[in-house]
Amino acid sequence: DAGVTQSPTHLIKTRGQQVTLRCSPKSGHDTVSWYQQALGQGPQFIFQYYEEEERQRGNFPDRFSGHQFPNYSSELNVNALLLGDSALYLCASSSPGRGRVTQYFGPGTRLTVL
Amino acid sequence: QKEVEQNSGPLSVPEGAIASLNCTYSDRVSQSFFWYRQYSGKSPELIMSIYSNGDKEDGRFTAQLNKASQYVSLLIRDSQPSDSATYLCAVNDKKVGGTSYGKLTFGQGTILTVHP
């Protein structure tokens, strides 16, 4: 049973560029959430996708956008990269439920913006 | 006030001791609470979830929840050097009507070091 997978593992970009990160959820999960974790901080919620729509969004600018495909996999896109976007980007998958939703994290993508 | 706050670290305990990690949260309607362990350079790994007041034990780990005090803690008994990691407390949002979408709000993490 495959867990959450993410690609690529590491990525180096320069300011102003655009980046796309990918995530495949755990088998049986249909909801994907994205988090940004800066060094020394806890993960911060970016947004969540369910049924190919953004269902919730955290306090991130419109430069951060996403997509969910019919097979439940998801992409995170970041435009006009800033130095401050350097972080570990985590994807988590879950199944919808009433009250007791558990999220499982993928290995993450380390993004470095130079 | 931060939504989820953890006791400042780093925390250093000798091997075999009990490590105590604490967390407070601000949203009174929160219903689900989680402890994740994160090794350096790795992603968070779920180690405990707790939903009701009281204690929940799983092996060497015990989670404690007090909703009246908006407080959740994690005890690690017989601490091992392999327990050295950052421990993240996370709280799940709760929507009106009971449906949870699973958005997690994390504390800043507490670094635990277990020395031989």
- pLDDT tens-digit readout, B49-106: 998 899 999 999 999 999 999 999 999 999 999 999 999 999 987 665 555 577 899 9
| CB-CB neighbors (< 8 A) of B49 in chain A | 100, 102
Q: Please check whether residue B58 touches A, CB under 8 A.
A: no
Q: What is the pLDDT of residue B25?
A: 93
How far B98 CA sits from the closest chain A CA (Å)? 6
Max Cα–Cα distance, chain B, nearest Å: 49
Q: What is the pLDDT of residue B33?
A: 93
Contact A44 B109 (CB under 8 A): no
The tokens describing B62, both together, are 């015990």
Contact B104 A43 (CB under 8 A): yes
pLDDT band of residue A98 (cuts 50, 70, 90) is low
What is the average per-residue pLDDT within A33-48?
96
Distance CA A30, CA A55 (A): 12
- Residue whose entry in the numeric block shows the structure tokens 């049924």: A51
| CB-CB neighbors (< 8 A) of A45 in chain B | 103-105
The mean-pLDDT minimum among A59-63, B16-20, B51-55 falls in B51-55
Contact B102 A42 (CB under 8 A): no
Peptide bond preceding A8: is omega within 30 degrees of 0, i.e. cis?
yes
Contact B100 A99 (CB under 8 A): yes
Of A12, A14, A11, nearest to A22 (Cα)? A11
pLDDT band of residue B108 (cuts 50, 70, 90) is very high
Of A16, A12, A27, A30, nearest to A70 (Cα)? A30
| CB-CB neighbors (< 8 A) of A108 in chain B | 42-43
- B71: how many CB neighbours lie within 10 A of its CB? 14
What is the average per-residue pLDDT within A39-68?
94
